[in-house]
Structure 1
Amino acid sequence: MAAQGPFEMGGKCCSSSVSPQSILYQILNNEERWKTEGNPQCFPLPFPNIGCPCEVNRRVILKIPGVTCNRALEVLLKTITFIRKLPSFFQLPLEDQILLIRQGWEPLFLLGLAQERVDFELLETSVPSLLKAVLLNQSPEGEYKLENSPLGASLAEVQKIKDFLGKFWNADICAKEYAYLKGIVLFNPDLHDLKCHHYVQALQQEAQHTLIEFVSMTHSRSRRRYAWMMESLGFLRTFSPDTIGELFFKPILGDVDLNTLLLETLYTKQDLL
């Protein structure tokens, strides 16, 4: 069997595979040496995973944030427009409306990215090198301080988004299918604290039934296509909202609360659309 590479440790993070006999281990863990030398600039390890080349710890930013973020904002506004055109949504109690939006805007936004074919390129961010900082006796108060580093979004999470977009583009989803899929996502009866659970469930079932009828008329392998779509919708709910905000909105909006922004735009800023 071929020998494992440095980052192929049976799914384990490479930061946990440092040998006690390695130079890196001795430099970072020989506390007695630092005490006896009385080095006034020694400091604890404040961020053990920074610099790890494992995909889960790698961070990325948009290569052209201005263009991509503006397109993302357009998608967000179109998502709000879609909701506004659903009279059945506004027949729900306000509490149910807010709950459905808070729990559903991320998958609706990702469906919008797919429908508008918003593609984007990434750049991997540079992160502080702890080894270099230790060897140069640099304090964490200097350029290696964690909070001064633009970490970006998780590469693993962003890659999931790009994979999803690619699959939907390859499937050639049409506008009507996107509309039915958005209805299925928005009217989610599985949420706790819904006051009109049965009504929301009926609305979702109506969207599902309409999608099945449409797919059966337009595709020969309709059952397989419909099953794949439903599986994809379940996958959509695994994405992290923090990743979406960090990647698509933080570069131009800063640390804005996207839930608040969505609700304010939906209910009070109708002149924007």
Structure 2
Amino acid sequence: MATLEGCHCRGAGSRNNNSILYNILKSDSLATTEEKHQHQHQHQHQHQHQHQQQHQQQTLHQFLHRTSSPSSSSISTSAASAPTSLRELRQQACSCGSTRRRGVLRSPQVTCKAASAVLVKTLRFVKNVPCFRELPEDDQLMLVRSGWAPLLVLGLAQDRVDFETTETAEPSMLQRILTGLPDRQSELPAGQSRGAAGVSLLDIQAIKAFLKKCWTLDISTKEYAYLKGAVLFNPDLEGLRCLHYIQSLRREAHQALNEHVRLIHREDTTRFAKLLIALSMLRAISPPVVAQLFFKPVIGAVNMEEVLLEMFYGK
């Protein structure tokens, strides 16, 4: 059972309230339609957060409308579907030069709106986890900065948000010399959005491979909850004040997931290992890539951390 021994956090209360099972599943953002009918009193709790959620959405929309979305009319080729492994991706990159190939969202306004809604739900989920609220603010901030991107991608998987991309080839060095194009993305002409340059196709395919993995496994609401707990409580960050407590919370999330899988999927002895593989795929996804793909097309040069701080702390 996770305890706050060795740090300056407030005690977590009763035995049941200390459990990662209780802390994670209590979040009303994870309630299914069936659970809502069985626990109607949770609607009152949700209503109390409605005004706060609207404020978060308004804050995000203010950022989203600061800059206009870059045009994608010059991009015509559909992005290739994801190969079965990252090794194949790297082999293809070496053989066909796809390290220079980049992709952008086919429908940025639609996809970015969906991603923004998932971000609001994700931050609300984090704030509703009692053992997270008991952490010092410095630790909370570190965990949010570290975990927002993988939690967002998990949310995309849970809400089954799919997206299409179009491909653009980055000019070769010879083409840059002959045409006088800037040598680096940082040297883009004034007024041209960085979001227009897109992200590497390898990174896009890694995200799509993770989504496909989750949908193939048909992950349940409770399994998503435990996975989010394992992602949120990241003890690998330097400078955490409640390091041992956060380590115990992650360990407890893994144990709870394992127990749930053994109880519900007794016939599938490899399911827990498959979920851990999905977690490893998720941790390989870069937060700057997530920000570039799903938010840069509409927020432009605005720092993603500014958006997170504004939404999470109201600063």
Q: TM-score, normalised by structure 1?
A: 0.72
Is the 8 Å Cα contact of residues 101 and 167 (structure 2) preserved in structure 1? Answer: yes
Alignment of 1:37-48 (within 5 A): none
Is 1:65 matched with 2:87?
no
Following superposition, the deviation at residue 235 of structure 1 comes to 2.3
Aligned counterpart in structure 2 of residue 147 of structure 1, from 165, 178, 188:
188
Q: Cα–Cα, structure 1 residues 128 and 210, in superposed 2: closer, same or farther, change >3 Å? A: closer
Gaps of 5+ in 1: 1-9, 15-52
Aligned partners of 1:112 and 1:66: how far apart in 2?
Answer: 18
| Equivalent residue runs for 1:4-43 within 5 Å | 13=94
The alignment-based identity, stated in percent, is: 46
The answer to whether residue 127 in structure 2 is matched with residue 84 in structure 1 is: yes
In 1, the alpha carbon distance for the partners of 2:310 and 2:169 equals 36
Pick from 111, 132, 139: which aligns with 1:96?
A: 139
Would the aligned equivalents of 2:151 and 2:232 in 1 still touch at CA under 8 Å?
yes
Cα pair distance change 1:109/1:54, threshold 3 Å: same
Structure 1 221/107 Cα, relative in aligned 2: closer, same or farther at 3 Å?
A: farther
Structure 1 runs of 4+ aligned residues shifted over 4 Å read 10-14, 126-134, 137-141
Return the alpha-carbon distance in structure 2 between the equivalents of residues 204 and 130 of structure 1. Answer: 46
Q: Which has the higher contact order (CA 8 A, sep 6+)?
A: 2
2:101 touches 2:170 (CA, 8 Å); kept in 1? no
Report Cα offsets for 1:103-156 as digits up to 9, x if no partner: 11111111111101111111112544665676xx65448xxx962473211001
SS at match of 1:204: helix
Distance 2:122 2:157 in 1: 12
CA contact (8 A) 2:230 2:253 kept: yes
Say what the alpha-carbon RMSD is for the aligned residues. Answer: 2.5
Distance 2:297 2:140 in 1: 29
Q: CA deviation at 1:242?
A: 1.9
Given that 1:62 and 1:247 are in contact with CA atoms closer than 8 Å, whether structure 2 keeps it comes out as: yes
**Max Rg structure:** 1
Task: State the AA in 2 paired with 1:268.
Answer: G
Q: Which residue of 1 aligns with 2:235?
A: 189
| DSSP-derived class of the 2:234 partner | coil
Deviations 1:15-61 (A, max 9, x none): xxxxxxxxxxxxxxxxxxxxxxxxxxxxxxxxxxxxxx512210100
- Over 3 Å counting, the alpha-carbon distance change for 1:61 and 1:87 in structure 2 is same
Q: Tell whether 2:250 aligns with 1:204.
A: yes
> Unpaired runs of 5+ in structure 2?
1-90
User: Aligned residue for 1:108?
Assistant: 151
